[in-house]
A and B are shown apart, each in its own frame.
Chain A
Amino acid sequence: MRIDNLTVRFGGFTAVDSVSLDVPEGHIVGLVGESGSGKSSLARAVCGLVPHTGLVSGASRPQMVFQDPYASLDPRMKIGESVAEGLRGLRGAARDAEVARLLGLVSLPAELAGRYPRELSGGQRQRVAIARALGARPDLLVADEITSALDVSVQGAVLNLVRSLRDELGVTILFISHNLAVVRYVCDEVAVLHHGRLVEHGPTEDVIGAPAHDYTRALIEAVPRVPRP
């Protein structure tokens, strides 16, 4: 997947300013930056949800997983119906089997298909949203702050799932987060966005280990740490 000179404008405000970025197949590329840096606008532009100029190539079937798992599932639809929404040309038993397979991919029992979102925890809902996205067989998965609305105890499990999607299914992922520790753990490459511009991009070890830009250094500096004696 390749992004060329992508620009997103809202009226007179430029949210994303001619960003070019390569996302190699089967890799997880992290996109970090503070709120207002243009991360989410970039993600939505890649998915065709906001008007933009510039070229996005190699991602013909992008899918997105949203930050708030309480808002991204229709409260009036059963889990199975939500997951099945992206499945084309499948009916009856074949459809149910595919839903069960997708739920299995995100380590959820198939019985959940008959439940409503309100009966699920935040972590389970986020898994359902991932299963729904996988059902469309995406060539790019955009994960927009998918763990920031989750409790710490389930965040770990969702991050493990993201890594296993890459390792076992070879899914290409654009992983957006403001938490550098999370990005460091999950991503192969890191891109740093500041005021809509890409200020640094490279393999995770390099960007975190030897940051070249002042803003990247400030971000790394600001990550809270539990003191170790």
Chain B
Amino acid sequence: MPRTPSAVAGTVLVALMVVLAVIGPPLWGDEAARIDATAVLQGGSAAHPFGTDNLGRDLLARVLVAARYSLLLALAAALIGGVAGIVLGALPSVLPRRGARFVTGMVNALVAFPGLLLAMFTAVVTGLGARGAVLGIGAAIAPGFARLTQTLAASVAGADYVAAARMLGVPRHRVLARHVLPNIAEPLILNLAMALGGALLGLSGMSFLGLGVQPPDYDWGRLLFDGFGRIYVNPEVALGPAAAVALAGIGFNLLGDALAKGAARRPAHRPDGAAPPAAPAPDEAEVQPDAVLDVRGLTVSFPGGVTPVRGVSLSVGPGEIVGLVGESGSGKSLTAAAVGGLVPYPGAVSHTALRLSGEEAATLTQKELGTSLAMVFQDPMASLNPALRVGGQLAEVAQVHQGATRAEARRRAVDRLGHVHLPEPEKQAGRHPHQLSGGMRQRAVIAMGLMGTPKLIIADEPTTALDVTVQRQILRLLREVTEETRAGVLFISHDIAVVGELCDRVVVMYAGRVVEELPVERLAEGAAHPYTRALLGSLPDMDTDRSRPLASIPGRQPAPGDVGDGCAFAPRCPLAGERCESSRPPLARVGAGHLVACWEAS
């Protein structure tokens, strides 16, 4: 749970209420019940801070004692509403189709009915008094719960593991009990905490209207009802119960809110490392004098000692496509994000140099960065606003960064869309992103990058979500664009075959470091690092020998928090010796444009 002031306040308030409910009646029960004919209907005084009622009983003691009854009633109402709602909401997933439809329709109708009306109706039908009020509030809470359960259950029911269970012949009620309910329990319980606050307010309201608790019993709402007639003479007699209701209601809502927020942002894995390690020394890398991108010693770290990118150096020349390849978790996407200044909070980026076309990236204005750098991501929908037309989104780039007029910008947008071979660019510009296919969207995103005069295009898995045939077209387009504009491309992919087909130079990353950098011609035969060779060997291509098993790499890549002093690949490496375990091999030159970080590679 987050330690925000509101979370702390909620916890403290609820804890106070619970303590009061436990100790209230035994401590002040006698005083609350003591009738004193000499002190009837008094206002606030030193002996009775909140005054007395018509039988001379101390109102402060009565407010404190009433906490238990008020909270118990609220708890009962919330539980009745919650259980009834969950049962109603879960029924459609076990009933046959017709029954499921009936229950769903009923829930829909109940949700449309005003809650307070439902509560009063139920209370009147089931009889005046605490029982009627509790049932009424429960009935008012139930439809919301039913709807929530239904929605949550429907999302879980679509999961692959439920489909798997159905194929295995697990009966529906067991699917519900074993798979669906446990996976939706958390939001339901959170909602119950919130409903508790609502039930408390609702019950107090019912008692205040005279529909709830009847004398001689009393809860906060009843005390408020009794004191309300005197509010213009002795306001303090109504103030006590009113404050109690308000504080408890606020407490439960704050706590429920904080619990929900805490559940939403719970981190998947929090290594208990100490301080983040010092930035590792940068490795040597190919240096090109006219490079469009030149990064030295790029390090990205997150609080808690997690450093997913460690001292990466790379450069991209004009008109050159450099492939950055590695498994998920190797730090390749974060490297790209760091170059584009897009590392999410709370990540910290450090580097000894980050130059775009020879200029320090830090000295570039947003406008310069916006036109000289283009980024293409895996999901084109993430780069396109679904509510706006494609042409308008492209035109915006020219209007914002280049100060073009609307008409000019629009003309340029259509021209660029034609440039990436979108058929009928005039017509496509007037369409919304969802009307385009995946490949067409990715073309539109590339066209957006071409609205400026990009010197560097960063493409992060741009074809991973596409079919092979469309992938080929996009790869061709990237090649064409580079040759024409002389922009450099940093192409990130997990697929070494795609990288091999498209790129001029290949940079292989493992556990946050560059382990090999080589020209693409050497990739198939001349790769020196055991990891690069294993990647190539484990990927079947159209010439793979079908009679032999594929090579595979045992074990798994270490998490960014668990990288030790030695070579990170050593535990999975067939060549690893003692030296590999203890000291990390530097990236060293083994041939023209070929760098390898391995002690054993020859």
Contact = CB atoms under 8 A, between A and B. Distances in A.
Given A66-B160, A227-B524, A181 B498 contact: no
Nearest to B522: A229
Contacts of A185: 540, 544, 546, 550
A85 B168 contact: yes
Contacts of B164: 64, 66, 72, 85, 129, 132-133
A218 B469 contact: yes
Contact of A152 (B159, B167, B535): B535
B183 A76 contact: yes
Nearest to B506: A226
Interface stretch (A2-10, A19-27, A157-165): A157-165
Interface in A131-176: 132-133, 135-136, 151-157, 159-160, 163
Nearest to B531: A153
Given A159-B540, A224-B501, A225-B541, A132 B469 contact: no
A94 interface: no
A67 to B, nearest CB: 8
A62 B537 CA distance: 33
A182 B550 CA distance: 11
B217 interface: no
A156 B551 contact: yes
B163 A226 contact: no
Contacts of A181: 497, 539-542, 544
B161 interface: yes
Interface string B142-170: 00000000000000000111011111111
A74 interface: yes
A123 to B, nearest CB: 8
A90 interface: no
B103 interface: no
Nearest to B164: A72
B468 A34 contact: yes
Interface residues of A, number: 59
Contacts of B534: 153
9 contacts: A63-B168, A64-B167, A77-B179, A82-B161, A132-B164, A153-B535, A153-B552, A224-B471, A226-B500
A156 B521 CA distance: 24
A202 B529 CA distance: 40
A135 B168 CA distance: 9
B544 A77 contact: no
A108 interface: no
B203 interface: no
Instruction: Classify chain B's interface size.
Output: 35 or more
B434 interface: no
Contacts of A133: 164
Contacts of A47: 167
A228 B524 contact: yes
A220 B542 CA distance: 9
Interface string B513-552: 0000000110111000000001111111110101001111
A180 B538 contact: no
Contacts of A104: none
B167 A226 contact: no
Secondary structure class of chain B's binding surface, majority of residues: helix
Contacts of B500: 224-227
A157 B182 CA distance: 33
A136 B494 CA distance: 34
A178 B540 contact: no
B171 to A, nearest CB: 11
A52 to B, nearest CB: 15
B328 interface: yes
A193 interface: no
Given A72-B164, A163-B549, A229-B524, A151 B541 contact: no
B497 A227 contact: no
B556 interface: yes
A64 B162 CA distance: 12
B183, B494, B525, B539 interface centre (most CB from chain A within 10 Å): B539
Nearest to A68: B160
B497 A224 contact: yes
Given A72-B159, A74-B179, A157-B552, 5 more contacts: A34-B469, A156-B537, A221-B472, A224-B501, A226-B536
Interface in A180-229: 180-182, 184-185, 208, 218-229
B328 A151 contact: yes
A53 to B, nearest CB: 19
A184 B546 contact: yes
A225 B497 contact: yes
A14 interface: no
Interface in B314-350: 327-328
A71 interface: yes
B496 interface: yes
